Amino acid sequence: MRTLAVATALTLTLTASPAASAATTPSLPRPTGHAPVGVTSLSLKDTSRPDPWVPTVPYRELMVSVFYPATSANGPKKQYMTPLESERNLERENIPGLSLDVLSTVRTNAVVDAKPAGRWHDLPLVLLSPGWTQPRAVLTALAEDLASRGYAVAAIDHTYENRATTFPDGHVTGCAACEVDEQPGIWEKVAQVRSKDTSFVLDELLHSKKWGALIDPGRIGMTGHSAGGAVTTQAMLADPRIRAGADIDGSIHVPLPASGLSRPFLFLGSMDNYVPGQEGPYDDWETDWTHLTGWKRWLMVSGTVHSSFTDLGVLADQLGVDIGASIDGARALAITRNYVSAFFDQNLRCRPQPLLAAPSPTYPEVTFIG
């Protein structure tokens, strides 16, 4: 099992400044779009299948955060994680001077249950899938930014695949899938489970009175980090409603078939871990690249590590934790936000993006591989 797909975004180099950790209330950078951002949490239950990781549960239950452009920035902001979720995500890291509940104090920008802005079928939708063992929370900054630019965004927690998911009735699920993640065929199962999760969430949103009226069913995209990015191609093959996809630093253990994928696709990864033509975490990108037959782009970012593409690069900097990156977390996040939004603007909104056409002097860290 190669590190890129399974490396958890919270695996940090354990050098922390206790003073910085104690003095700082971490916060996510403000979204860069013009719209205020709202967020709603949905608890969904798929009764058509038992849970694939805990078969004694006769249904698949999921928590989803829907971010969207709102009419007002006034109101309570979304809690990043609960104290228990923070504790379960940090307890294995053993970072000196860092309180285990610190991620419950992160300041976000999205207003809980704010009134949505948008006209009938006005909003393109982007589905977000987090990395292996990771909660949907770690993609909040990307979700907020896309929503501020006029997208609806659905960030999915894949139950029993992360360390803690809290449901409205108070029960908290853990990572049952972690107990079998060395078994043969695990990544094929992950791809199948997450593809079904994604299609189910999409069904629920499009068939709901509220979200179905706002979302444009002809402009749907998907992206994710690590394992969540890796399964995007499989989710697209399983569901033709997903018109464009992006893999953010996720190693693809389930390759595309010879028939390929003809819809637009973006690879975005870490240049520091890439050696062309040699075995490594991106050699499966080289294989899948030949089977992507639609518009495609492959970009690599110098100075980044695996966590740099999530909120945790920014939060680690603020908390005095060294994750090993040579560019700061805010810069890595800005690059991630701008290139991902440019990709969806071009391929869901039909707005040509010079940023994707050629290297930009604004972002010298970004290398065009293809």
- Across residues 1-27, what is the average pLDDT? 50
Q: Would you say 168 and 56 are in contact if contact means Cβ atoms under 8 Å apart?
A: no
pLDDT for the residue numbered 23: 57
Answer whether residue 61 shows pLDDT above 60: yes
Q: Where exactly are the structural domains of the chain?
A: 3-368
pLDDT for 67-92, tens place per residue? 999 999 999 999 999 999 999 999 98
The pLDDT of residue 39 is 98
DSSP string, 260-287: -B-S-EEEEEEGGG--TTSSSTTHHHHH
Query: Alpha helices, DSSP H only, in 66-106?
Result: 83-90
Which pTM was predicted? 0.94
Question: How do residues 243-280 score in pLDDT, each as one tens digit?
Answer: 999 999 999 989 999 999 999 999 999 998 888 877 77
In CATH, what is the architecture of 3-368? 3-Layer(aba) Sandwich (3.40)
| Nearest-angstrom CA–CA distance, 332 and 272 | 13
**Higher model confidence: residue 221 or residue 97?**
221
Between the CA of residue 37 and those of 14, 115, 156, 283, 312, what are the distances in Å? 34, 9, 18, 38, 21
What's the confidence (pLDDT) of residue 94? 83
Q: What is the pLDDT of residue 295?
A: 98
Phi, psi angle pair for 59, to nearest 5°: -150, 165
Please tell me the distance from the alpha carbon of residue 77 to that of residue 113, in angstroms, as a whole number: 9
List residues bridging with 27 in a β-sheet.
107
